[in-house]
């Protein structure tokens, strides 16, 4: 049985800016009478809205499944509305699927080995600058606005209003942090390094797809457009963890927007850092 070894971690750091209002739903169970219908998720300690890493990661994976035309073969909710996702359940399929290799799969009978999850996405909190700016603005609720939408009956023209809570446009969340681990097989260390680095491009593709789509709810009605700002890509090799004094952290790329991270020769930079 082949074994895997961690060769290092690629870190993407930066900020997320809301270009339009952002609604990522929270629980309405604690709202008082008269509260909004659809509240945003908030930090239970500070009551500030934040972007869960699970929302970022899940949306990126969903967009990549459609981008690569992956079959929706796994039901995760059988009652209407039915929800299906893609997840490889055979090793041969997994080896050809960059999405499952990056985001991971649940243990399945057809998989001879348990496969690692490569991508970690952290929660992103409001930046101090946004918090200070919003403290001086008369928003509908702390750090958020209330957007009223009206559903019109096509027959009677009767109007049914409802309220959505949103983080206003031009809010900034950060620090954003995504961590992509690089693994090698003991049976093919050189070739697997190259394949692992190539998988990192799937992460960048998912981020770029997300910039051109939406995050959270009500995206087709104007909410959820975001932009990645102040991005930086760094690499920590395995040797850095063994002796951080002798092996430096390598900065691979930086810039505003995901496009600034594309076209970089990650292959040679990371290979050189691993051999250093």
> pLDDT, tens digit, for every residue of 236-248?
988 888 887 777 7
Q: For 107-126, what is each residue's pLDDT tens digit?
A: 765 566 667 889 999 999 99
CA distance linking residue 128 with residue 166, whole number of Å: 19
Most confident among 78-92, 96-110, 144-158, 225-239 (mean pLDDT): 225-239
pLDDT score for 252: 86
* pTM, full prediction: 0.87
pLDDT score for 189: 56
* H helix and E strand count, the chain: 7, 11
User: Is pLDDT of 129 > 70?
Assistant: yes
Average per-residue pLDDT for the chain: 85
- For β-strands 50-51 and 4-18, DSSP reports them as unpaired
23-32, 34-43, 54-63, 71-80, range with the lowest pLDDT:
23-32
CA distance linking residue 104 with residue 98, whole number of Å: 10
28-37, 75-84, 126-135, 222-231, range with the lowest pLDDT:
28-37
Beta-bridge partner residues of 167: 22
Structure tokens belonging to residue 161: 């209003």
Q: For 132-182, what is each residue's pLDDT tens digit?
A: 998 888 877 888 888 877 777 778 877 777 788 899 999 999 999 999 999
CA distance linking residue 22 with residue 219, whole number of Å: 9
Beta-bridge partner residues of 229: 15
Most confident among 51-65, 142-156, 183-197, 231-245 (mean pLDDT): 51-65
pLDDT score for 261: 92
pLDDT score for 33: 43
How does residue 186 score in pLDDT terms, banded at 50, 70 and 90? Answer: low
For residue 120, give the nearest of 199, 5, 11, 196 by alpha carbon.
11
Domain locations in the chain as residue ranges: 4-23+43-138+169-275
pLDDT score for 36: 65
φ and ψ of 68, to 5 deg: -95, 5
Q: In this prediction, what percent of the chain has a pLDDT beyond 70?
A: 88
Beta-bridge partner residues of 75: 84
pLDDT score for 32: 47
User: Is pLDDT of 29 > 70?
Assistant: no
């Amino acid at each position: 049985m082949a074994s895997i070894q961690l060769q290092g971690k690629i870190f993407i750091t930066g900020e997320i800016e809301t270009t339009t209002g952002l609604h990522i739903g929270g629980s309405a169970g604690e709202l008082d009478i008269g509260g909004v219908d659809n509240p945003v998720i908030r930090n239970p300690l500070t009551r500030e809205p934040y972007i869960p890493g699970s929302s970022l990661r899940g949306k990126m994976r969903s967009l990549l499944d459609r981008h690569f035309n992956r079959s929706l073969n796994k039901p995760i909710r059988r009652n209407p509305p039915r929800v299906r996702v893609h997840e490889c359940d055979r090793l041969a399929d997994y080896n050809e699927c960059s999405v499952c290799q990056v985001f991971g799969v649940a243990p399945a009978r057809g998989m001879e080995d348990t496969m690692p999850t490569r991508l970690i996405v952290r929660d992103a909190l409001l930046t101090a600058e946004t918090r200070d700016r919003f403290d001086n603005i008369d928003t509908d609720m702390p750090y958020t606005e209330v957007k009223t939408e009206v559903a019109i009956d096509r027959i009677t023209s009767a109007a049914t209003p409802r309220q959505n809570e949103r983080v206003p446009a031009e809010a900034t969340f950060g620090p954003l942090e995504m961590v992509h681990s690089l693994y090698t097989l003991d049976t093919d260390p050189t070739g697997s390094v190259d394949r692992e680095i190539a998988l990192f491009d799937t992460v960048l593709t998912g981020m770029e797809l997300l910039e051109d789509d939406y995050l959270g709810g009500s995206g087709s009605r104007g909410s959820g457009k975001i932009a990645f700002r102040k991005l930086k890509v760094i690499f920590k090799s395995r040797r850095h963890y063994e002796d951080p004094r002798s092996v430096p952290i390598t900065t691979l790329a930086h810039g505003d927007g995901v496009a600034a991270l594309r076209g970089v020769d990650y292959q040679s930079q990371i290979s050189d850092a691993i051999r250093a």
